[in-house]
Amino acid sequence: MIIRKAKPEDKIPVLAFLQNTFRWGDYIDRVWDSWLAKKTLLTVEENGAPIGIGNFRLSKHQIWIEGLRINPKFRRKGYASALVLKMESLAKRKHRKISRMLIASGNSKSLKMAKSLGYTLEDKWWLYNLMPKKLDTTVHTATKLEQFENLIGSDLYSKSWEWLPLDKSELLQLVKKGCIVVAMQNKKPAGIGIWNESDIDRGVLQLGYLNGTKSGMGVILRYMQNKGFALKSKRIQVLTQKILGGPDLDRRMLFCLMKKELGAYH
């Protein structure tokens, strides 16, 4: 077994065994070129052929592990675990102290693997789909932390399927970029949303954090529908710890956010 950086010539054989990853196929073909260009895509090779892949993203806080795929003919032989451990070792060299990954709650085999490597359940997040619609809605784009600090009830938020720490410095950057919107009721903040445009799903808006009162969150959701309509988005993905309801919301999946504290690199 050899683990190395992916090469352009790996693309065709890898995509060949990813056609039926999920009921709808897979998304790796849409991100392959980007991941390859960033030199973060790893391949596990056996007898000269690529039989598995995994990608990682480094932020100032952590390593994010994603896109773990193993050819069905080679599963349950430790290849996925080896890829994860390799990426963890790269993170340690860069002095990252936390590793995170997201696994569908129904994927018992991957959850078992993650737990065997020392990962624990940090939180659970729901995915909802929301269709764009022209609506009248009033929200305020946040300009300072004082407008919404009391509505932050999580240490993390999702940005294009990567969960990032929601600390003060990150919040300030999001305010600067105009990505935080606040719903006001009776002159008080009642709902907060943090949005982005997905790097994985083209033409898709993401609401990567949502919190507040039921009515406040409803205003944020209507704002996202209207924004999606204005941008001609295909759909809006809502990722939240909240169980939501409503005629326009399509509850899709429950995900497990897994976390591991990394030791120092020696």
- Domain 2-96: top CATH class: alpha beta
Percent of the chain with pLDDT over 90: 82
- The structural architecture, per CATH, of the domain 127-255 is 3-Layer(aba) Sandwich (3.40)
Local structure of 141: helix, strand or coil:
strand
> And the tokens for 157?
């938020």
Distance CA 246, CA 255 (A): 20
Give the least confident one: 17-31, 154-168, 200-214, 246-260. 17-31
Partners of 195 in the β-ladder: 207
Local structure of 194: helix, strand or coil:
strand
Q: Where are the domains of the chain?
A: 2-96, 127-255
pLDDT at 266 over 60: no
Local structure of 11: helix, strand or coil:
helix
Q: Same CATH fold, 127-255 and 2-96?
A: yes
Going by C-alpha positions, the residue among 68, 62, 53 that lies closest to residue 102 is 68
Give the least confident one: 18-22, 39-43, 93-97, 189-193. 18-22
Percent of the chain with pLDDT over 70: 99
In the chain, the amino acid numbered 230 is: A
Q: What is the reported pLDDT for 265?
A: 62
> Torsions phi, psi of 179, nearest 5?
-95, 0
Task: Share the mean pLDDT of the chain.
Answer: 93
Distance CA 244, CA 256 (A): 17
Note whether 224 and 246 are within 8 A (CB). Answer: no
Q: What is the reported pLDDT for 15?
A: 94
pTM above 0.75?
yes
* pLDDT bracket for residue 186 (50, 70, 90): confident
